[in-house]
Amino acid sequence: MVWDFKLFHITHSRYLLHDTGGADHPETPERLRVIASALAGLNGCCRLLTVEPTPPEKEWLLTVHAAEYLLRFEEVALSGRSYLGHPDNQLCYESFEIAILATGAGLTGIDLLEKEAGSRVFCSVRPPGHHAEKTVALGFCFFNNVAIAARYWQIKYARRRIAIIDFDAHHGNGIQSTFEEDPDVLYVSTHEHPTFSFPGTGYAEEIGTGAGEGTILNIPLLPGAGDAEVKNAFVEQIIPAVEKFRPEALIIAAGFDGHQLDDMSGLLFSTELYGYLGRKIAALGDRLCEGRVISILEGGYHLPSLGASVKEYCRGIMERRK
């Protein structure tokens, strides 16, 4: 079966140049190579269009991050040091500029969606973003790609109410801390339970604060949880929460490290689960926000299952459910 609408795959060859030092660092350029070749296998069943992002203006980074953090990051990268803050956050001379370009993928994707309603967007970026906070690099993340995309959508296109769904195996502490007092952004995350999982946040009791109380939904899963637990969370909690919130756009923090072969978590998701998530998310986006859904890569480190899972997810989001 051939679908007549487009899948924009937003990525850039410069993303491969973000050097995390080799050794056993799992966040490697190879991740994007396996995704690109897996998605090439989708051609024939949809129009796969690879698009390069435009580098964003720095003002968009400043909607989430502090100016002094940008200066510090740039200085560390250009001075030739090998990491920012914690040895996990390995970088190279070009990393500052590449991390900016990574935030650009979401912005370019949003521009495309606003021009061509009905198309689908998947952004394959490095470095990932959901652990990065206003002034902190954490867990391989430097700039919070998803949070910046949300602010861009709000400011440039006046889509005020944004829902973010994060199915990475780890809690997106940076997305949560950006929006926990903001009633206009819903953040929903499934992740391995914070006791057993990096970074140790995302307890169900964290529900947002002040005006944002009730706009954070954390669904921790114990190690060993698999497809059944996630499907149940989607049907029982996530879909009703997003429907009730009535978003004007959906952003997906798409991490694939919950896969059973990925040892970055103790979750046991199958490849097929990501197809299920793609279908559910696309249907939700079509029903609530005229298809304004953008997915941005977070984690996923076991290369064969990363490629297969992203392909399955994209196949899922291309299957339109009327």
Which residues in this chain contact another protein in the complex, by CB under 8 A? 23-26, 86-88, 131, 138-140, 170, 173, 195-201, 222-224, 262-266, 301
Structure token digits, residue 89: 């956050």
Checking 12-15 for CB contacts under 8 A at 24+ apart, the result is 12/52, 12/53, 12/101, 12/105, 14/94, 14/97, 14/98, 14/101, 15/98, 15/101, 15/102, 15/124, 15/125, 15/126
Phi, psi of 241 (to 5 degrees): -65, -45
Give the nearest distance from C-beta 308 to another protein in angstroms: 18
Q: How far is residue 27's CA from residue 244's CA, in Å, rounded to a whole number?
A: 36
Considering the complex, state which of residue 266 and residue 316 has its C-beta at the smaller distance from another protein. Answer: 266
Considering the complex, state which of residue 46 and residue 99 has its C-beta at the smaller distance from another protein. Answer: 99
- State the burial class of residue 229 (Cβ atoms within 10 Å of its Cβ: 0-12, 13-18, 19+): middle
Give the nearest distance from C-beta 92 to another protein in angstroms: 17
Give the nearest distance from C-beta 229 to another protein in angstroms: 13
Of 322, 315, 320, 316, the residue nearest 44 (C-alpha): 315
15 Cα distance to chain centroid: 15
Q: Which residue has the tokens 């903001």?
A: 182
Considering the complex, state which of residue 248 and residue 262 has its C-beta at the smaller distance from another protein. Answer: 262
Give the nearest distance from C-beta 160 to another protein in angstroms: 29
The SS3 of residue 157 is: helix
> Catalytic: 131?
yes
Q: How far is residue 92's CA from residue 29's CA, in Å, rounded to a whole number?
A: 13
Would residue 80 be called left, alpha or beta, if left means φ above 0 and alpha means ψ between -120 and 50 degrees? Answer: left
Give the angle 125-126-130 at the CA atoms, nearest 5°: 90
Task: From the candidates 18, 65, 131, 259, give the one annotated as an active-site residue.
Answer: 131
The partner residues of 220 in beta bridges, in order of sequence, read 191
The answer to whether residues 215 and 245 touch, using CB atoms and an 8 Å cutoff, is yes
The answer to whether residues 105 and 12 touch, using CB atoms and an 8 Å cutoff, is yes
Q: Which residue has the tokens 């899922």?
A: 316
Give the nearest distance from C-beta 177 to another protein in angstroms: 9
Considering the complex, state which of residue 5 and residue 196 has its C-beta at the smaller distance from another protein. Answer: 196
- State the burial class of residue 209 (Cβ atoms within 10 Å of its Cβ: 0-12, 13-18, 19+): exposed
Give the nearest distance from C-beta 257 to another protein in angstroms: 9
Give the nearest distance from C-beta 66 to another protein in angstroms: 17
Considering the complex, state which of residue 86 and residue 321 has its C-beta at the smaller distance from another protein. Answer: 86
Active site residues: 131
